[in-house]
Amino acid sequence: AQSVTQLGSHVSVSEGALVLLRCNYSSSVPPYLFWYVQYPNQGLQLLLKYTSAATLVKGINGFEAEFKKSETSFHLTKPSAHMSDAAEYFCAVQAGGSYIPTFGRGTSLIVHP
């Protein structure tokens, strides 16, 4: 079984501030982990994915995430928020031969000028 918990349905930051979106997963076997972003009226787009090659994963638009097995976490960070980062972010886990990822409930990132 696999599951994902995203802490905080809304995160608000000022432009230029650090972005931290939290994701904790549960999986009985080594997982693959993903972060997706959804802009208004659009589908989801892959930001980055962890496939066991490296624990620190760099993605598009300056985002990165670190896989921490001991904490079962895969938090998403960006050093400096931009207004264009305002969107919904989804963490997903896929493991154990499943072809279907399990998505978290999503975190809405709000960026203030």
Partner 1 sequence: KAGVTQTPRYLIKTRGQQVTLSCSPISGHRSVSWYQQTPGQGLQFLFEYFSETQRNKGNFPGRFSGRQFSNSRSEMNVSTLELGDSALYLCASTEGTGGNANEQFFGPGTRLTVL
Within 8 A by CB and 6+ apart from 82, the residues are 15, 111
Least separation in angstroms between CB 113 and partner 1:
26
79 DSSP assignment: S
- Helix, strand, coil abundance in the chain, percent, nearest 5: 5, 55, 40
Q: In angstroms, what is the minimal distance from the CB of 14 to partner 1?
A: 26
Q: Which is nearer to partner 1, 15 or 98 (CB)?
A: 98
The residue range among 16-24, 67-75, 79-87, 92-100 that interacts with partner 1, by the rule CB under 8 A, is 92-100
Q: How many residues does the chain have?
A: 113
CB of 51 to partner 1, least distance (A): 5
Minimum CB–partner distance for residue 94 and partner 1 (Å): 4
Half-sphere exposure for 70 (CA within 13 Å, toward CB): 0
- What character string, x for contact with partner 1 (CB under 8 A) and - otherwise, covers 3-42? ----------------------------xx-x-x----xx
Number of C-alpha atoms within 13 angstroms, CB side, residue 5? 8
For 68, the token pair is: 């921490």
Q: Is 77 in the site for partner 1 (CB under 8 A)?
A: no
